[in-house]
Amino acid sequence: MFIRPCYRWKDGKQHAYWALVESVRTPRGPRQRVVAYLGQMDPAGRLGVHEAANGRPGRQGRLDSDALPRWVSVDVTGIRVGGCLELGGPWLGLELMRRLGLTEFLERVLPPGPEQVPWSQTAAILVLSRLCHPSSELHIAEHYYRQTAMADLLGVPPDRINDDRLYRALDQLLPHKEALEVHLKNRVGELFGLDYDLLLYDVTSTYFEGQAEANALAQRGYSRDHRGDCKQVCIALVVTKGGMPLGYEVFAGNRNDVTTVEEIVTTMERRYGRADRIWVMDRGMISEDNIQFLKAGSRRYIVGTPKGMLRRFERDLLEGPWQQVQEGLEVQRVASPKGDETFILCRSARRREKEKAMHDRFEQRIEQGLLDLQASCIRRRQDPIVIAQRLGKLMGRNTRAAGLFQTQVQTACDGSAWLDWSPAEAWRDWASLSEGCYLLRTNVNDWSGEELWKAYIQLTDAEAAFRIDKSDLKIRPVWHQKQDRVLAHILVCFLAYVLWKTLGQLCHQAGLGDEPRRVLEELRNLRVVDVLLPTREGVTIRRRCIARPTDHQAILLQRLGLTLPTSLEITDAS
């Protein structure tokens, strides 16, 4: 809508009157329709009416140049406040997307078509909502989007957002997964000067609510979420030092971690090249076949090893020499017999205390269970097979200390069972020696033991990435049933995690630490409110104003180099 002058001659003079006009579509094309005749108005009054109608001063050039002053007469007794919307989270997320060039990328790969809302904007809504308020597409459409200022930030009216449009945006976004990963890797590297010489690889799982019968990837397997009753998928993630994601792949829920290594390594090399990268993986990823695969391609690696491999280094554990890396942590380099690898013995005081406490707890459980079995054999005649089964269950529930006991189920002359058991001192001595120790394996022979340990311990960044995805971004449980929708849901969570880590990098540069959770929570409280101002001319001006930041919020914005707008253009339903 806009205001337009109307002229008439009276008493030999030309008089100007003003009318509020809107453009409407008709079968014969666009037409202009007079909404109301406003009579004679001064420039300030015209400006107020125009802003009340559109929230966009100067639109279509309908205001005279003499209307630059923004003064109107307001009835202060009638001033009131309208709705209050969440601004901070969506605005901050959109700023992060712009810095990453993500909005331009989405506009390029998802160009506008006949749809009412461009897919690039709908995809942005999904990512921003996942970062700020993780929930279902239905909740976003019916509640969250209307409670935020995203409509004004993106220019998409709330009545055009529904769950079906959001679901279809997932379908549009998924084919661009690989291109997104490449774009973000390059952009993040430019912004923060990251190098990609150390790649950290780990696998987690996320479970489904529902049967997911049409999804071949949804299978039952080892659940990191302790939901073995649910189907799941496995997510393999590659991150750099500091946890900045490089890429990910989704595997069937029953896929063994060891079998994913070759596929992930070749995928990352095809996408980003080989260069001189060092792969870091924990012991769950490693088999001799994988080691040979890494060696065959002249790839460098630092990996964990199974606990049983420590037995080969019993003399080194006893004799040393140990090098202190930090308080409570010692390492020792041991060359392999062939000289092509290096083993790093690590001994942690804190880990030793933890493992000793676990051994003591399991030992007490086993000892009490053995005494109970013996007592039951004394009280009444027991079948030896039944006693053996109960003994097996007891040891299976307490495997960490099962080696501390030697047990034997005997059969008496009358066919009854009797249980003999005694402590295994040799196992106890080994447990005492190896508690708190673990072993690393690498073909990086030009690094010190301290450097190798510090590189391996970076795997905690990959583990932290999974915790953020599961707790803050709520990647679990998965409610989608179709395979492509599940993959698109994980992609949206990945993009939200990139925004999360980008904010973390900005916080680190600004001297605010590298944990963005508190910053996001603080800035999320920024609000935008509608202020309604009744004027002397009888027209109510509606202004969407941003609440003044608190001192703490203002400091955070200043340190991050972010500037809040003073007001927003109102996007009404159309």
Q: Give me the amino acid identity at 480.
A: H
Tokens 């000067």, located at residue: 193
CA-to-CA distance for 367 and 569, rounded, in angstroms? 72
Q: Which two tokens stand for residue 254?
A: 């029953």
Q: Is pLDDT above 60 for 66?
A: no
The arithmetic mean of pLDDT across residues 337-342, rounded, is 85
pLDDT value of residue 190: 92
Report the pLDDT averaged over residues 325-350: 91
> In the structure, what pLDDT confidence band is assigned to residue 253 with cuts at 50, 70 and 90?
very high
pTM of the model: 0.82
Q: Quick check: bond before 321 cis, omega within 30?
A: yes
Backbone φ/ψ region at 364: left (φ over 0), alpha (ψ -120 to 50), beta: alpha
Q: What's the whole-number mean pLDDT along residues 453-460?
A: 92
Q: How much is the average pLDDT of 204-232?
A: 93
DSSP code for 235: E
Average pLDDT score over residue span 190-218:
92
Q: What is the pLDDT of residue 50?
A: 62
Mean pLDDT of 141-155: 94
Q: How far apart are CA 169 and CA 521, in angstroms?
A: 27
Please, which pLDDT band fits residue 572 given cuts at 50, 70 and 90? low
Predicted local distance difference test score (pLDDT) of residue 497: 96
Q: How confident is the model at residue 266 (pLDDT cuts 50, 70, 90)?
A: very high
Helix (H) or strand (E) holding 20: strand 13-26
**What is the dihedral angle through the alpha carbons of 437, 285, 221, 473, rounded to the nearest 10 degrees?**
90
pLDDT at 44 over 90: no
Q: Which residue has the higher pLDDT, 352 or 27?
A: 352
- Reply yes or no on domain 194-309+325-339+443-481 having CATH 3.90.350.10: yes
Higher-pLDDT residue of 91 and 70 is 91
Q: What SS3 state is found at 485? A: helix
Q: pLDDT grade, residue 340 (50/70/90)?
A: confident
Determine the distance from the C-alpha atom of residue 462 to the mean position of all C-alpha atoms in its chain, rounded to a whole number. 11
Continuous segment of H or E residues that includes residue 323: strand 323-326
Task: Output the six-digit token pair for 296.
Answer: 């065959």
At residue 61, the pLDDT reads 34
Question: What length is written for the chain?
Answer: 574
The per-residue b/e assignment along 85-122, b for 16 or more CB within 10 angstroms, e otherwise, is bbbbbbbbbbbbbebbbbbebbbebbeeeeeebbbbbb
Q: Are 518 and 562 in contact (CB under 8 A)?
A: no
